Structure 1
Amino acid sequence: MPPARSTTLPRAAATDPVLLALAGTVLAAVGWLLAGPGGVETHVLVRAWLGPPLNLVLVAGALRLANRPGRAAADRRFWRALAGTGVLLLIGQLGRLATALRHPDAAAVATGRFQTVFVLAGVAVLAAAVVTHPRPPAPGRARVRYLLDTTAVVTAAVVAIWFMTDRSAAYGAGAGAALAAVVIGAALTFAVTRLIAGGHSPISSVAAAPIVAAAVLQCLQGAVLPAATSWRIPLALQVAAVALISAGPRLQELGERVTASRPPRRPRSYSVLPYAMLGLVFALLPAVLPAGLSRTALVALGGLLVITAIVVSRQLITFAENESLVRRSEAGLRTLRRQEERVRLLLEYSTDITSLIDHTGAMTYLTPATRMLGYEPGELLGVRVLTLIHPDDLPAILPDLQRLMAAPGSTYTYQARYRHGAGGWRWLEVTSRNLTHEPSVGAVVSNARDVTDSRELQDRLRHEATHDALTGLANRVLFGRRLAAALAGGVALLHIDLDGFKPINDTYGHHAGDAVLVRVAERLSAALPAGAVAARLGGDEFAALLPGADAAAAARVAEEFRAALAEPVEVDGHRLTIGASIGAVTGAGTDPEALLRRADEAMYRSKHAAARR
């Protein structure tokens, strides 16, 4: 079962039943081999019986990793090769067990020829897998770093192998053991260089560490320890080495589970491999220095070691600080990119048009919302915004727009009609702010939203409030305003009352009466000169306002209207005739109500005169 999201690899390893069983068994065995009762025969048999099960753990773990779904083909080949190495080691362990069962004596403490052959074969299989494992291409500097790391590892390995072979000869170790140590050391050097320094490894450093430690222990017990060393130590080192290499695949599996539950971590930008190799070479110095060095030489050598350790430590601290700065910078860049992406999406899907306008009035940036005006954003780049505004709206807003362009930091909000790409006009409410003084902007920023529907609704409501719903003429309220506005310059006023309208309503119905009223309104509007205002005051009462006209002009309009009414009105196949009583007055001043009363009185005098005739 995968570990929880907050699980770390050390915590997962400390609670893993496989690793716990492996560690418990090996610790008990090593402790007993080092200090337990019994002679060499019993200890040799215990070591021989422990080898095959531990190798089976290695084979099973490597095969589980090789068969894990989603793993790359090259990584599968590596883990199958490691499983093959485990099988060869298992065969060698079984041969050792057979030998120990026949001759459980001190000669069985050392690694025999049969087991050595299969160990070397297993190392060859692993080396072949490393050779064929692909390495991703790297740029020039990465190749230089790779070569430098490789040189450091190879140099340290040559020194260490030379040291081991030299000690092997000095302590009287067998030639086979020395050869095995040299081959294992060389293979280890190659594997570390090819996989870890190469930049792409199928095995993590945590899983590789116990395998490397197992190889080192094998070298120690096979080529470095003096021949006179107690048989207890080699046996304990052999069991520890086999257990360590068997734990590697399990640590890899746990590490992959923990990594899968966490976001990927950025690889380190520096390598500690050259410094580790430096430490390895320095660690060998005390063992290879000749006896009898002077105190001064020893002090100088000690100082060299201390200063080197300080320099390396300072260098690693600097690397770690730089790495931390780089990660913080990358985190800041990721945050900035997320913010930029958020702003981009907000602008892209906003229904408001955001634009930048330079000092010439040309648009240099527009959001995709310009499509609501029938344009793609690129179509309007370089277009002066004034060319899109309706000519009737431009005079009212142009002075304020000019003041906005001349005053950095100022803001101006207005409504105007803008040309639609498919023809027609759309009302936009625009808020513009002059940010030409801001270096990061250097333009006037405008945000515009389409208010056509609300503007048309307002205009419709305003029209309905000031116009007659049936005829479309001005109502009494609007007519009174226009009269009051024009009265100071002198006006002529016609007050009209229809004759014979009530019988039409009573005989043919209100719909016929409404049709007659509409025709009367049309004929009244047609009879008026430009600048005059026609109104329906209510019922069958109409009025006409003639600004600046005299009595003669009013009489001519009245006669023209009467002539127009003489033509019958056709409604539902009926030819209906209607007349009108018209009162005409002229006047000037500031009292519109008084003029309306005079026109009303004149209309009634006309009606009574017609009735007497």
Structure 2
Amino acid sequence: MPRSVPRSLTRSVPRSLTRDPVLAGLLVLTGLVLVGYLTPVGGSWGRLLAFWPIQIALDVVLLAGSYRVVRLPDIPADTRRFWRSMTLAGALLTLSDVVQAAQNLRHITPALLNSGNLQLALIAAGIAGPIWTMLTHPIPGLRREKLRFWLDAGATIIAAAVFIWTLLMPDLDSRGGAGLLLYTASSAAMLVAAFGVVKLTLADNPPFNRGAAITGGLGACLVGVCTIVAPPVEESWTLHLFMVSRLVPCVLLAACARFQEIGLRADAAAGGGTRPARRRHSPLPYVAAIAAQFLMIVLLFRAGLPLQLAGGVIGVTVVIGLVIARQLVTFADVDTLVTEVSRQEQRFRALVRHASDVTLVVDRAGSITYASPALHRVLGLPAETVTGTRLADILHPDDATQLDDVVLRSAADPDRGVPWRARARHSDGGWRWLEIISTNRLDDPSVDGIISNARDITLARDLEQQLRHQASHDQLTGLANRLLFTERLDRIARDPFLGSPPGGDAGPDRLVGMLAIDLNDFKPINDTLGHQAGDTVLMIVAHRLSACAGDTATVARLGGDEFAVILHPTSVAETAALADRVRAAIAEPMHVAGQDLTVSASIGVATGPPNAAEELHEAADAAMYETKRDAKASR
């Protein structure tokens, strides 16, 4: 993805010029220099006398401005390192000009405007620091990105050096020994410094903002070019132009530190910001190649070429130019494509980041390789904390057993998602029900995993369970109602082994026991004590029935004062014993509506094979009514 750089790079340079007193003063000074040195007003002696004070003042502005940037709080370490080197450069440049001015003030002549060896040595030492910090400034990116950066830098620097050597270098005999070496080194260093400014500006993390880059790079480039191409100042007609060519670049260099300080302070006040990162491919090496090819043609034609060789050189140059143009077009297309891909990636990331559903990618070993940010909202677990852990470790042990089946089903049809449900551990220690759809993309190299999209259905499932319970249970007593009772009978008839313990006798010889229970003389309780008292009696009876039957039996209220119990698997003796316990439990006194009541019940018992469960219910019901008739007859 493209990176971002400080927002101060986007600030307007003209606005800063009019609002900042230092920049406004430098702008006024530039106007005065142009008027004072390029118009026929005054004599050369006055201009020579003013030159060095102006030069030294500009050096001091650069020194002070760079130092102020270094003292700013909360700036990146690499930025502080660069501007510390600029502070040292400003100090050495000030010292070099003071030395040269001291010599010039003793003998005010145009010849002393030429840099002496000591001044050139101080200048070279001063600019060496910023150049070194630019060359060693960390370039973000992968190894191949850094390799491209240095290849671009090498091509451009070599092209600049070739131009200096062949076209712009003055007569080598005019300077000798150390003077020639220092002269060449300082001129080339200025051009390299200008290149470094441009290159780092195009990088992702420059130690300066755009205003500082423009003024500093342009100033350094002008100093280098003017140093190289300037004619001897002994020629009076070039004296004024020479002084302008020395002062104007120094004004730009002095302004660069001020632009940096303004940008950093504005960023701090605005809370920072970003702009799109640089282009992915720099045109600088291609421009350098075209310029070097043009230089070769000029040199060859100066040497005198036969027509045949000239045509070949021109043809080769045209071919190289077309290839470079085609390459630049390709780069533009690639940039457009990468920008679109990056935009789509950012859109996808935004969708995933703000999605309510959790997205997981699980590898072949069952480990989570990716978790979307929604995991924190759903389970309270930061996505980075689960990466590398097994999916089974965050699922309920009873639900984790589904994973092998999910893998097999998804592998059988990779284009179709496999729906399943599971409980996942929440950071609060509880469990959340998830509805999951898993798609097998193990054979997709870009994914290499099973993609699972999960949403939290805990509340929905709780509501579903609540509604299902209400639909299948008696509202008053909480026992199973007639619907659930009938479903249990159907299930037993379809599956005779239902409820059989593992390893036990699970054959059809294990019987189904049925109790049909009806309370005797329940209507008078409602008529004399009221329906609330009757409801209390029903709830007490339901509680006693559940206590007698245990967890393995199904106890149901079929309506009114009619109850039923299903036992499976059981035996005739166990069913009869339960009927005796139930009869005794119901007959125990109960305190209702301020009175002690004794309630009796008529119970019908039937046992038989599971495939006759429905008939057993009818048989138990008939036996219950027969018991009730016998009880009434015996009174």
Tell me which amino acid in the other structure corresponds to 2:39.
W
Q: How many angstroms does 1:79 deviate by? A: 1.7
Which residue in the other structure is 1:39 paired with?
Answer: none
Match of 2:126 in 1: 129
Q: 1:468 aligns to what SS in structure 2?
A: coil
Could you tell me how far apart the structure 2 residues matched to 1:586 and 1:144 are? 93
- Inter-CA distance 120–259: structure 2 relative to 1 (3 Å threshold): farther
Q: Does 1:496 align with 2:507?
A: no
Name 2:143's counterpart in structure 1.
none
Which of 373, 390, 405 matches 1:380?
390
Q: In 2 relative to 1, CA 510–150 (structure 1 residues): closer, same or farther, beyond 3 Å?
A: closer
> Contact 2:436/2:455 (CA < 8 Å) preserved in 1?
yes
Encode CA deviations 1:440-463: one digit per residue, 9 max, x unaligned: 446553334454554344233322
Query: Counterpart of 2:478?
Result: 472
Query: Any residues of structure 2 matched to 1:451-462 within 5 Å, and which?
Result: 451-462=457-468
How far did residue 504 of structure 1 move? 11
Which residue in 1 is equivalent to 2:501? Answer: none
Q: Which deviates more from structure 2 when the two are superposed, residues 67-76 or residues 129-138?
A: 129-138
CA 1:379–1:132: 2 relative to 1, 3 Å:
closer
Number of equivalent positions? 554
Quote the Cα distance in structure 1 between the aligned partners of 2:605 and 2:552: 18
Q: 1:5–1:452: structure 2 CA closer, same or farther, 3 Å change rule? A: closer
CA contact (8 A) 1:63 1:79 kept: yes
- Structure 1 residue aligned with 2:227: 215
| Distance across 1 between alignment mates of 2:491 and 2:306 | 115
User: More deviation in 464-473 or 479-488?
Assistant: 479-488
Q: Could you list the per-position Cα deviations for residues 330-365 of structure 1 after superposition, in whole angstroms to 9, with x for gaps in the alignment? A: 757865875786588679xx763634475xxx6354
Q: Deviations over 1:505-562 (max 9, x none)?
A: 978x999876654453355457779997543345544345789999999998766643
Structure-1 separation of matches of 2:528 and 2:407: 60
Which deviates the most, 234-243 or 531-540?
531-540
* Cα 1:281–1:68 shift into 2, 3 Å: farther
The Cα offsets for residues 231-289 of structure 1, whole Å up to 9 and x where unpaired, read as: 4x133334323433433324534764798688574794855679878978998999xx8
Q: 1:542 aligns with which of 563, 576, 585?
A: 563
Q: 8 Å contact 1:582–1:606 — kept in the other structure?
A: no
Please name the residue that 1:252 is paired with. Answer: 256
Distance 1:467 1:88 in 2: 104
Q: 1:433 to 1:181 in 2, by over 3 A?
A: closer
Note closer, same or farther for the CA distance 1:18–1:188 as it changes in structure 2 (3 Å cut).
same
Give, in angstroms, the shift of residue 95 of structure 1: 4.3
Q: Alpha-carbon deviation of 1:80?
A: 1.7
Q: In the aligned structure 1, how far is the partner of 2:360 from the partner of 2:226? A: 67
Q: Using the TM superposition, give the Cα deviation of residue 111 of structure 1 relative to its aligned residue in structure 2, in angstroms.
A: 2.3
TM-score normalised by the chain length of structure 1: 0.63
- The residue number in structure 2 matching 1:562 is 583
Q: Is the 8 A contact 1:357 1:445 kept in 2?
A: no
Decide whether aligned partners of structure 1 residues 94 and 59 sit closer, same or farther in structure 2, where only a CA change above 3 A counts.
Answer: farther
Q: 2:39 aligns with which of 28, 32, 35?
A: 32
Larger Rg: 1
Residues 156-188 of structure 1: per-residue CA shift (max 9 Å, x gap)? 66667985365x6xxxxxxxx999995774353
How far, CA to CA, are the matches of 2:155 and 2:567 in structure 1? 102
Alignment partner, residue 51 of structure 1: 51
Partner of 1:447: helix, strand, or coil?
strand
Q: 2:451 aligns to what SS in structure 1?
A: strand
Q: Say if 1:312 and 1:389 are closer, same or farther in 2 by CA, change over 3 A.
A: closer
**CA separation of 1:252 and 1:575: change in aligned 2, threshold 3 A:** same
Change (3 A) 1:529 1:81: closer
Q: Give the aligned residue type for 1:240.
A: V
What SS is found at the alignment partner of 1:67? helix
State the secondary structure of the residue aligned to 1:521: helix
The alignment status of 1:580 with 2:587, answered yes or no, reads: no
Q: 1:208: Cα distance to partner?
A: 0.9
Does the Cα contact within 8 Å between 2:362 and 2:370 map onto a contact in 1?
no
Secondary structure of the 1:471 match is coil
Contact 1:54 1:246 in 2 (8 A): no
Shift of 1:206: 1.0
Map 1:249-398 onto structure 2 (within 5 A): 249-250=253-254, 252-253=256-257, 256=260, 263=275, 265=278, 268=282, 270=284, 352=358, 354-356=360-362, 363=366, 365=368, 367=370, 369=375, 378-380=388-390, 389=399
Shift of 1:58: 2.4
Q: Does residue 236 in structure 1 map to residue 258 in structure 2? A: no
SS at match of 2:465: helix
What is the identity, as a one-letter code, of the residue corresponding to 2:54? L
- Distance 1:75-1:357 versus aligned 2 partners, 3 A rule: closer
Matched residue type, 1:191 = A
Distance 2:159 2:24 in 1: 39
CA contact (8 A) 1:473 1:521 kept: yes
Structure 2 regions of 5+ residues with no counterpart? 1-6, 71-79, 138-145, 201-206, 268-273, 497-511
Aligned residue for 2:73? none
Using the TM superposition, give the Cα deviation of residue 189 of structure 1 relative to its aligned residue in structure 2, in angstroms. 3.4
Q: 1:472 is paired with a residue of what secondary structure?
A: coil
Structure 1 257/603 Cα, relative in aligned 2: closer, same or farther at 3 Å? Answer: same
1:443/1:386 CA distance change after superposition, 3 Å: farther
The 3-state SS of whatever aligns with 1:221 is coil
Q: Is the 8 A contact 2:522 2:561 kept in 1?
A: no
Task: Select the residue among 92, 95, 119 that pairs with 1:81.
Answer: 92
Whole-angstrom CA distance in 1 between matches of 2:430 and 2:28: 83
Distance in 1 of aligned mates of 2:551 and 2:312:
110
In 1, Cα distance between equivalents of 2:187 and 2:561: 112
In the TM superposition, residue 411 of structure 1 has moved relative to its aligned partner by 3.2
Give 1:86 shift.
Answer: 3.4
Distance 1:321 1:415, change over 3 A: closer
CA contact (8 A) 1:389 1:416 kept: yes
| Distance in 1 separating the partners of 2:148 and 2:452 | 48
Whether the 8 Å CA contact 2:441–2:450 is kept in 1: the answer is yes
CA distance in 1, matches of 2:598, 2:105: 128
Q: How does 1:182-201 map to 2 (within 5 A)?
A: 182=180, 185-192=183-190, 195=193
Deviation at 1:47, TM superposition (A): 2.9
Change (3 A) 1:87 1:44: same
Residue aligning to 1:171: none
For 2:361 and 2:398, how far apart are their aligned partners in 1? Answer: 14
Give the SS at the match of 1:28.
helix
SS at match of 1:496: strand
TM-score relative to the length of structure 2: 0.61
Q: Shift of the alpha carbon at 1:76?
A: 1.2
CA contact (8 A) 1:428 1:450 kept: yes
| Aligned partner letter, 1:363 | G
Alpha-carbon offset, residue 421 of structure 1: 12
Structure-1 residue corresponding to 2:633: 609
3-state SS in 2 of match to 1:220: coil
1:573 to partner: Cα distance = 12
